[in-house]
Amino acid sequence: MATVKNNIKNVVTILLTFTICRIIVSEGLTVDQTLTEILHIGLEGEVSTEAAKLEAASLDFGRLSSKGETIAVVRPASANDVARVVKAAYKWQQYFAVSARGHGHSINGQADTRMKGVVIEMGKGGVGIKGPLVWEKEMYVDVWGGELWIHVLKATLEYGLAPMSWTDYLYLSVGGTLSNGGISGQTFNHGPQISNVFELDVVTGKGEVLTCSEDRNSDLFHSVLGGLGQFGIITRARIALQPAPQRVRWIRALYSNFSTFCKDQEFLISLHGKPASQRFDYVEGFVIVDEGLINNWRSSFFSPSNPVKISSLNADGGVLYCLEVTKNYHQGNADSVDEEIQALLKKLDFIDTSVFTTDVPYVDFLDRVHKAELKLRSKGLWDVPHPWLNLFVPKSRIEDFDKGVFKGILGNKTSGPILIYPMNKNKWDHRSSAVTPDEEVFYLVAFLRSALDAETLEHLTNQNRQILGFCHDSKIGVKQYLPHYTTMQEWMDHFGDKWTQFNAMKMQFDPQRILATGQRIFHFEVITKDDM
């Protein structure tokens, strides 16, 4: 009976589409009117052309770009809705762009359409979208592509399980992070989030709904992971799980010498193959170039009643470096945790008097940045421009980067946290579209700055250009994470040896180049089939 109903619905959809085609030809409707009519055909979700919603869909966390030409916003009720929109764009007489938007946390308008097109609000799915489905025995969870990681965490914790790899901020969509990489302090051990996926459902640029994995449509599977949304829209992801700890021992220690700091970080990530008792579960760090940042939102860990001052620690070049590590545990093995931590700390060479430790529930640690977000929102400091710059720096040149950037270009004011921590390349699947430096160990350096006024925005934007210029002139060989370029040649240089495969997969799965045009990788223009 269900099959008959579906067949009837498909016939009705075809007849309605044919009717609209005739109306357009006879009455000369505009592209915008045509698009609006198409999107109302067969969709179970919501379609809006309200000015306020169109404007909201053109803004992202970066607030650096609002050049999109969104002419409709779709709130899908299913993967089929996503497929219908993309198929309409692919088959219609006049092509239009389609962009999937998760939580809108991109920096440079990557989730916008850039050209006339539709934004699919994956993070605001309709009533047909189900929450995470946990498979306890199989140790994985099936998740809607627009689901936030915080919801995945809460759903899996009900079964005593959790994903292995995280991002620092959990209010990001699953499809969004898997389209980039998904990294945090666990990456050295478990790899990025894209290395912990069993299966995907993807709507390609042709409007096809394909299930892909290592063994099924493997080219699409590997291309989509880290693929910046170029080959399809992730509607379902099957994420690997592991037993979740109950609590986290959270430790920070300061360094005044960069070489020593790097040596210790690299030692800690080299322990990834050791038993859990012989390594930390999370390794990150950050750079402090001014007094205020020691006690800012990122490092409020330190006691306000006992503030740390750079001047009192003989910082090399006026810069301090903070190591941040954690040890996960259950109440049952709490007694052994301190011994394990002390055994590891004895092998490190931080400033003796600078160790700070706290103990928090696992969920509180993973959700730590959201608490800082709420504080900033209460002060009106969240919805401001964020000229962030995220770089992968090869281990062999990290000291040159320190001298040229941390002790050079930055001066003594940063306007936000600077993260720095190493990763192991062998934890990244080389078949994915993600790009990393060609060295076994490389560092993430993330400049997470905010601009409260136009003058600061201009200064930080220019500073980012200086940093990139320094890396280029010094041939440091950095790769951008969450990359942003404006020409195809720059993208070709970014992907390097992966470009040929990347381009071939684009032509196979999105030949009309209608997906993720906000990335500015492939040229897109509105053309009609008569022009082809």
- DSSP states of 115-172 as a string? SEEEEEEGGG--TT----EEETTTTEEEEETT-BHHHHHHHHHTTTEEES---S-SSS
Catalytic status, residue 168: yes
Catalytic status, residue 284: yes
Rg (CA), the chain: 24
d(CA 91, CA 357) in angstroms, rounded, equals 59
- Give me the catalytic one of 284, 340, 367, 510: 284
pLDDT at site 42 = 81
pLDDT at site 57 = 86
pLDDT at site 118 = 92
| DSSP 8-state class, residue 406 | I
Is 437 strand, coil or helix? coil
CATH architecture of structural domain 247-480: 3-Layer(aba) Sandwich (3.40)
3-state secondary structure 235-292: EEEEEEEEECCCEEEEEEEEECCHHHHHHHHHHHHCCCCCCHHHCCCEEEEEEECCHH
Per the listing, tokens 């760090």 go with 285
Angle between helices 2-27 and 31-39 (to 10 degrees): 170
Per-residue pLDDT of the chain (532 residues; tens, 9 = 90+): 444 444 444 433 333 333 333 333 333 345 555 566 666 668 889 998 898 988 888 888 888 876 667 888 999 999 999 999 999 889 876 678 999 999 888 888 888 887 788 999 999 777 778 999 999 999 999 999 999 999 999 999 999 999 999 999 999 999 999 999 999 999 999 999 999 999 999 999 999 999 999 999 999 999 999 999 999 999 999 999 999 999 999 999 999 999 999 999 999 999 999 999 999 999 999 999 865 555 543 444 555 455 555 555 666 667 899 999 999 999 888 889 999 999 999 999 999 988 999 999 999 999 999 988 898 888 888 899 999 999 999 999 999 999 999 999 998 777 789 999 999 999 999 999 999 999 999 999 999 999 999 999 999 999 999 999 999 999 999 999 999 998 989 999 999 999 999 999 999 999 999 999 999 999 755 444 444 4
User: Hey, where are the domains in the chain?
Assistant: 1-30, 133-243, 247-480
pLDDT at site 212 = 98
Catalytic status, residue 138: no
Give the fold, CATH level 3, of 133-243.
3.30.465
- Note the Cα 167 to chain centre separation in Å: 8
d(CA 531, CA 525) in angstroms, rounded, equals 12
Half-sphere exposure at residue 392, Cβ-oriented, CA atoms within 13 angstroms: 20
Global pTM reads 0.89
- Give me the catalytic one of 32, 69, 168, 219: 168
Per the listing, tokens 């009455």 go with 27
What does 372-384 look like in DSSP terms, one character per residue?
A: HHHHHHHTT-SSS
Residues 265-299 as b or e (16 or more Cβ within 10 Å = b): bbebbebbeeeeeebbbbbbbbbbbbeebbbeebb
pLDDT at site 38 = 61
* Cβ proximity of 59 and 382 under 8 Å: no
